Every structure is written in structure tokens, then in C-alpha cells.
Structure 1
């Protein structure tokens, strides 16, 4: 299965989702490829930190691709891996569109803030454009990331995402927790931390279970 983590708003936590999904898939025994298609190359930095922390035994393969090469190379690589996770940037780029055309699942995290949610209509149009030319169906999921522990912003954002006719809304928010950044700084997923944050581990597991139960129940 090919997963693209995208959107058109920076700072929504796409790399956090992509790297944690990659780690969780690899820990389930899948052969996984992580593709960094973001010009900021944060997934590449994550992989470098992981190699250093784990002394080279990272558990998955990681490469960098950009532009139209994302589509052409992924098509060649699909038969070689159980799953491919593509981390794209926070803009409507050639790389992201190319990734979407060869993906089964499109994951878009939204922060519960006005500027983030204002992009929803634009991302919906992007999905519709890709679906119009894609040979296989593209399943699009939206969910809250870096959500507030309390307050009405989460509920307001959830209602807006639930009303989308393009995205399937996942009621499995990830709360803004230090565990995610602490893990990332070591090149780890939150499920790998020695001093685990049970809430973060539960949240990320529930999110990926909602996307595909086989991810965590193999």
C-alpha cells in the first residue's frame, strides 16, 4: 500500500505522521520504504538521527525523490515493498501531486486553527483533481494533529472536517504532546521511546488502526 502524507499548509505535523507510520509498519514486520518528497528534507534528517541512535539498524529503507520522479520511481518500487510512505511538503507541489497519483491513501493532518482549516476547500479540490485522472481509487483521510488538550477549538474543527464530502474524517486526534518531538529528536517513533508516553502511544496507534487495522494487528 502507498500512503502519502500531505496538505497545503506548513506546520501541520506531516513528517511526524509519516515517520511514526513508517516506524509502526516496520515494527509490525513489514518491508517499508520511506520517501522524502519534501524540499525541507525533515524525514531525511529523522533517518540520519535514527541511524546514529540505532547504529545503522533503522528497520526500513529511506530515499529522497522530487518532482515527476516521485511518480515514475514509486511505480517501479511498489512491487519491492509491502508499504511505501511518502512525506510531502506543505504546499501544492509537483512532488505532492505526483505522489498522490500513485497512492492508495492520502493522509492530511489539520491543526485546529483557523489558518489551517481555511485550506480545507483547496485540499478538497486537489483530491478531486487527482481522483479525476487516477486509475485507482484514492482514499483521503483528514484528522486533527497538535490538537488542544481542552477547549472548543477541537470540536469546531472536527465538525468542519466531518462535513467534508471528499475526506473521511478520523475521530482519533493527536494531542500536542512533547513526546512526539522528543522521539523525533532521537529518530524514534513514540512507540519506541524507552520512557513511553502512554497517551501518545495510544493516540498514534488508534489513528493508524482507524486508517487500516492491518497496520497494527498483523
Structure 2
């Protein structure tokens, strides 16, 4: 399948989700391609750090693709991999639209803040435009990312997201934990921290990925 992390707001954690999802899928035994379609190149930087930490054995293939031609290139590569994960920037770009056209599933992480929720009005319009031109529907999942450990904002934002008809809300919030930047600084994921692993982080993001991918396999540290 082809998955794209997308949205209209920067700072929602799309790249972290894309990187973790790619590694998680690879740990299930799948051959995974990670496409960095964000001009900022966050996923590429993560992979470069990962190559240094793991002596080049990152566990997946990375390519950088931007622009309208992305859609055609994805079509030519999809038969070579079990899954493709595309990381796009936090704005309406040609690359993001091309990625969504080519994808089976859109993954839209949202921070539990009012201004992040408001950006979804514009993004739902983009989804509707893309859906109108597709032969098969694009599945769109949204969830709370970088959520406070305990906050009324989480509940209110969850209610707002669950009311959006164009997306399916997954009630598996990914909390704002230090485990993510701590692992990411070395090009690793929370699944790979050994004795320093945060089991709460592992469990919550694993449950999210199971629901997005429909793969029912546990990942241990």
C-alpha cells in the first residue's frame, strides 16, 4: 500500500510519524520505500543520521522526490515494494497533491490546539478535490499527535476531529513524550532504544500503526 503523511499545518509531527511508520513496517518484515517529498528534507536528514548510527543498515530504501512528476514515479516504483510511505510538507504543494493522488491512505496528524484544528477546513477541501478525480476513494485517517499527557484540549480536539466526515478519526493519541526527540536525534525510533525504551511511547504508537495498516503484530523494544 501507499501511505502519505499530509496536512496544512507545520509542526504537527508528520515526519516523525512517517519515519516511525516506515521503521515499524520494516520490522514486520516488509520491504519499504520511504519517499521524502518535503523540500525541507527532514526524512532525509533522519535517514542520514540513521546510516551513521546503524553503519548504513537503515532497514528501508529512501528516495527524494518533489513536484508533479512524483505521482508518475510512484506508479513506476510501487510494484517493487510491499509498502511506500511518503512524507510531505505542511502546506498545499504540488508534491503533496501528487502524493495524495498516488496513495491508498492519507495520514493526517493534528496537534490538539484550536488553530491546528482550523487548518483542517482547507485540507478537507483539498481531499474533496482529490477524491473527485480518483477511481477509488482515498482513505484518510486523522489522530492527535504531540498531545499533552493530560489536558482538556485532547478531549475537545478529539470531538472536533471525529465530527469531520471526510476523515476517519483514530482515537489513539500519540503523546508529547521525550522519547521521540531523544531517539530521533540518533536516527532511531522509540522501538530501537533498548534498555532506554519508553514502553508507553512504544505501545501507543504501535496501536496507532496497527489501526492505520491493519497489521496485528506486536513490536518489542
Work out the number of aligned pairs and report it. Answer: 218
Whole-Å separation in 2 of the counterparts to 1:57 and 1:45: 15
What residue is the counterpart of 2:178 in the other structure? 178
Does the CA contact (< 8 Å) of 2:2 and 2:104 recur in 1? yes
- Deviation of 1:64 after TM superposition, in Å, equals 0.1
Q: Secondary structure of 2:92's match?
A: coil
Does the CA contact (< 8 Å) of 2:38 and 2:88 recur in 1? yes
Does the CA contact (< 8 Å) of 1:50 and 1:187 recur in 2? yes
Whole-Å separation in 2 of the counterparts to 1:157 and 1:14: 18
CA deviations over 1:35-72 (Å, ceiling 9, x no partner): 00001100000000000000000110000000012101
CA deviations over 1:97-137 (Å, ceiling 9, x no partner): 00000100000000001111111111111111111012222
In angstroms, what is the RMSD of aligned CA positions? Answer: 1.2
Whole-Å separation in 2 of the counterparts to 1:216 and 1:101: 29
Counterpart check, 1:70 vs 2:63:
no
Classify 1:54/1:215 alpha carbon distance in 2 versus 1 (closer, same or farther; 3 Å): farther
Does the CA contact (< 8 Å) of 1:24 and 1:215 recur in 2? no
- Deviation of 1:217 after TM superposition, in Å, equals 6.1
Whole-Å separation in 1 of the counterparts to 2:130 and 2:136: 10
Counterpart check, 1:197 vs 2:198:
yes
Structure 1 unaligned segments of length 5 or more: list them: none
Does the CA contact (< 8 Å) of 2:3 and 2:86 recur in 1? yes
What residue is the counterpart of 1:41 in the other structure? 41
Does the CA contact (< 8 Å) of 1:28 and 1:215 recur in 2? no
Q: Secondary structure of 1:146's match?
A: strand
Q: Secondary structure of 1:59's match?
A: coil
CA deviations over 1:159-209 (Å, ceiling 9, x no partner): 000001100000000000010111111111111112110000001101011
What residue is the counterpart of 2:213 in the other structure? 212
Runs of 4+ in 1 over 2 A off after TM superposition: 215-218
Does the CA contact (< 8 Å) of 1:208 and 1:216 recur in 2? no
What residue is the counterpart of 1:82 in the other structure? 82
